[in-house]
Structure 1
Amino acid sequence: MKVHFTYSHFFVAALLPGCFFIASCTNPDKEIQAMNSKQIGVEEAKDVAIDYSISGKTKAKLTEPYMLRHEESVPFIEFTKTVHTNFFDDTLGVESWLDARYARYMETESKIFLKDSVRLINRNGDTLYSDELYWDRSRTGHEFYTDKPVRIRTRTEILNGVGFESNMDFKNWSMKNLVNSEVRIPSTQFPQ
């Protein structure tokens, strides 16, 4: 039995596997768009936990479900989902905690800018509410500050003002301009 091979058979035999390679190398449009939308110089991380320590002692732990690190001329880290931070005493007991919907850490300045529903709470339940707050680790004793409106709610007071400073445990704080505030004094403390 004699088999005749023609050039057309050879051409079809070479073309058929080539078609499979071409067909298998296509990406759906959504995949291509997703690859093109990723920014160059941006690192992503999920379920992040960052410990902040001074002289080997843990002072704070920041947790965040999603983080972006931007490699620009001035690098910064963005926390674009709800950020939560616990601040610890020397025995690792929680002294205060902080929540915000957005944070930006400027690496070269050691400063964190927090915004959108910022809440700082201490062990006593005293609570600061603000739209913006800075956490500057280089300002010992006055790490938290803002020039924006704030509200502080304690067991006996509701204080509204503009401008605020506090240490990390939110025990020693001051408000710059007090406005429309309410102080509740128990009747037992009135003079007779």
Structure 2
Amino acid sequence: MIFHHPYKKIFVTALLTGCFFIVACENTEQQIKDLTSRRIGVEEGKDISINYSVGGKTKATLTAPVMLRYQDTVPYTEFPKKIHADFYDINLTIESKLDALYGRYMETESKIFLRDSVRLFNNKGDTLYCNELYWDRNRIGREFYTDKPVRIRTKTHIINGTGMEAPQDFSGWNIYNPRGTLKVPASDFPQ
């Protein structure tokens, strides 16, 4: 092959070099999936345990198998597999326990959203069952609340309703729309 014009040599060289780079830059499907599945701005923790304290006194201990902290415009922390919390009184005795399959902590609001098989227990043996529940540390005396259906099982009653609020120790509660039959002793009625 004889080149009479110097631009033809440059063109052919550039064409061959370009073809080489196109062939050399090939990724497998798995490599492409690995590159695109990486999360940007996400911190991941496994088998975590977090102690929440106020004024140097432990108020709660939270455990979860997986924690994802998202560095978004509004940062939040997600517990996608399961979440458990123990809440303590002033003597560091557990006063209530909480379990859920999913939790999300909204940092700017100091609020936790819980969903899927939510259960809250107290020392008296009372248990709250619901599908969605919030814990808000700014709602002193009524930290737990929901507007969804709830079921509370005590040693003597099963109470159903929609909407509820309760203190962190789950020592009492207010159900907004109760349903079902409740046995009330005659001594509780005014005379």
Q: TM-score range by the shorter chain?
A: 0.7 to 0.9
Whole-angstrom CA distance in 2 between matches of 1:181 and 1:143? 27
Whole-angstrom CA distance in 1 between matches of 2:113 and 2:182? 29
Question: After the TM superposition, which residues 24-63 of structure 1 pair with which residues of structure 2 at under 5 Å, given as runs?
Answer: 30=30, 33-63=33-63
Local SS of the residue matching 1:98: strand
Match of 1:89 in 2: 89
Query: What TM-score does the superposition give when structure 2 sets the normalisation length?
Result: 0.79
User: Aligned partner of 2:95: which letter?
Assistant: E
How far is the alpha carbon of 1:99 from its aligned partner? 0.2
Are 1:157 and 1:184, in contact at CA under 8 Å, matched by a contact in 2?
no
How far is the alpha carbon of 1:27 from its aligned partner? 8.4
How far is the alpha carbon of 1:148 from its aligned partner? 0.5
Whole-angstrom CA distance in 1 between matches of 2:183 and 2:45? 45
How far is the alpha carbon of 1:53 from its aligned partner? 1.1
Whole-angstrom CA distance in 2 between matches of 1:137 and 1:31? 44
Match of 1:174 in 2: 174
Whole-angstrom CA distance in 1 between matches of 2:96 and 2:138? 19
Whole-angstrom CA distance in 2 between matches of 1:49 and 1:139? 24
Whether 2:53 is the aligned partner of 1:77: answer no
Local SS of the residue matching 1:58: strand
Runs of 4 or more, structure 1, over 6 Å off, are none
Q: Which runs of 5+ in 1 are unaligned?
A: 1-25, 186-192
User: Aligned partner of 2:144: which letter?
Assistant: F
Question: After the TM superposition, which residues 106-145 of structure 1 pair with which residues of structure 2 at under 5 Å, given as runs?
Answer: 106-145=106-145
| Residues 184 and 70 of structure 1, relative CA distance in 2, 3 Å threshold | same
How far is the alpha carbon of 1:172 from its aligned partner? 2.5
How far is the alpha carbon of 1:36 from its aligned partner? 2.6
Q: Give the percent of matched residue pairs that are identical in Structure 1 and Structure 2.
A: 57
Match of 1:66 in 2: 66
Whole-angstrom CA distance in 2 between matches of 1:48 and 1:136? 21
| Residues 183 and 34 of structure 1, relative CA distance in 2, 3 Å threshold | farther
Whole-angstrom CA distance in 1 between matches of 2:46 and 2:31? 21
How far is the alpha carbon of 1:30 from its aligned partner? 3.7
User: Aligned partner of 2:106: which letter?
Assistant: M
Local SS of the residue matching 2:91: coil
Whole-angstrom CA distance in 2 between matches of 1:41 and 1:183? 54
1:103-138 deviation line (CA, Å, top 9, x unaligned): 000000000000000000001110000000000011
For the aligned residue pairs, the C-alpha RMSD in angstroms reads: 2.1
Match of 1:105 in 2: 105
Whole-angstrom CA distance in 2 between matches of 1:28 and 1:181? 64
Whether 2:124 is the aligned partner of 1:163: answer no
User: Aligned partner of 1:160: which letter?
Assistant: N
Whole-angstrom CA distance in 2 between matches of 1:184 and 1:31? 67
How far is the alpha carbon of 1:81 from its aligned partner? 0.8
